[in-house]
Amino acid sequence: MRIRLIAASVLLTVLAGCASHPTPTPGVLAPDSAQPIVSESNNTLDATLWMQQSAEYEAVLLGSYTLARQQLDLALADPNWDAMPTGERKVPASGLSPAVIADADETLLDNSAFQARSIRAQNTDFNYAAWLSWVSERRARALPGALAFYRYAAEQGVSVYYVSNRDDPAERAATVDNLRALGFPVAEDGSNVMLRNDPRAPSRDKGERRTWISERHRVLLLLGDNLGDFVDGVATSPRARHTLVERYRPRWGRQWIMLPNPAYGSWESAILRECGERGKTDPNGCKRDALRLQ
């Protein structure tokens, strides 16, 4: 989980004609990351309540991880199975040991308590110091179904890699400790936890880290809650993002498992970016304009 442009900042950045990868400033969130936004109208209130209180959220997570286990078994039985996106694999997968690649936040770690704290405190902007404090507490819970799945994968001899856009090194030790304390399979040296700025693959996008892993493993599954957990180039228009999903239609539910996250993600930045390009400056107005009425 990392900083992403809050609504007004996205719009102002677009209108000012800034570069496509701006340098984050206080209150500004990088466009391709996935960090909760709490606006003055508490836009994440219902989403956070749904994630914490609804039986439906628990059910869809359990169902997603049941599907992941079924697909993992199929992948292990098929030596030609490879979940890497087109163009990211640089070496043949044949003969390599199996692995799965998973995002962390809202894929297997539950950070809704941090979002709830922000809402209760009526924080209108993302506060990175508060986020670091939450991470340092090492109290994120495992999402339903997640722990059983990743333990099962490890028992089958499958390496598990956690590819997250939390920061390395600022959030590394606490992230490794949190995952390990919950019982997720973590290497003794924590090397299967790859955060943003990992020296082995330092790009801010995840594709470079996926490629690094695929040079050593046949990748059986990708799991995440954000489009960028599966492909790069997601910081674009909503229409182009839908085109990306359609391009990889055969992967969804087979090699790629998407987990639900209504609270935050690059989907929101895409809506606000496009709205800003049309000269709109009201974030909530932009969201209302994006609603389909038929």
Any idea which of 24-33, 47-56, 254-263 has the lowest mean pLDDT? 24-33
Does the residue 2 lie in any domain?
no
Does the residue 208 lie in any domain?
yes
Does the residue 114 lie in any domain?
yes
The answer to whether residues 99 and 161 touch, using CB atoms and an 8 Å cutoff, is yes
Any idea which of 40-54, 61-75, 147-161, 182-196 has the lowest mean pLDDT? 40-54
Which pLDDT score, from 0 to 100, does residue 42 have? 62
Q: What is the mean pLDDT of residues 188-207?
A: 97
In terms of pLDDT, which residue wins out, 32 or 230? 230
Does the residue 263 lie in any domain?
yes
Does the residue 46 lie in any domain?
yes
Cα–Cα distance, 53 to 153 (Å, whole number) = 28
Q: What is the mean pLDDT of residues 180-208?
A: 97
pLDDT band at 23, cuts 50/70/90?
Answer: very low
Domain count, the chain: 1
Phi and psi, residue 166, nearest 5°: -65, 160
Does the residue 219 lie in any domain?
yes
Q: Report pLDDT digits (tens) over 156-187.
A: 999 999 999 999 999 999 999 999 999 999 99
Q: Which CATH number is 134's domain given?
A: 3.40.50.1000
Structural domain boundaries enclosing 31: 7-289
| Residue found by looking up tokens 């508060």 in the block | 130
The answer to whether residues 179 and 193 touch, using CB atoms and an 8 Å cutoff, is yes
Sign of CA pseudo-dihedral 20, 38, 127, 167:
negative
Does the residue 55 lie in any domain?
yes
In terms of pLDDT, which residue wins out, 17 or 84? 84
Above 80 in pLDDT, residue 216? yes
Percent of the chain residues past pLDDT 70, beyond the cut: 85
Cα–Cα distance, 194 to 173 (Å, whole number) = 12
The whole-chain average pLDDT of the chain stands at: 87
Q: What is the mean pLDDT of residues 202-208?
A: 96
Which pLDDT score, from 0 to 100, does residue 284 have? 84
DSSP 20: S
Does the residue 100 lie in any domain?
yes
The answer to whether residues 131 and 35 touch, using CB atoms and an 8 Å cutoff, is yes
Cα–Cα distance, 290 to 10 (Å, whole number) = 16
Above 80 in pLDDT, residue 135? yes
Cα–Cα distance, 196 to 206 (Å, whole number) = 8
Take residue 185 and report the two structure tokens written for it. 């399979």
Q: What is the mean pLDDT of residues 95-103?
A: 98
The sheet with strand 193-196 has its strands ordered as 193-196, 159-167, 97-102, 217-224, 256-258
Above 50 in pLDDT, residue 218? yes
User: For strand 193-196 and strand 159-167, is the pairing parallel, antiparallel, or unpaired?
Assistant: parallel
Above 80 in pLDDT, residue 66? yes
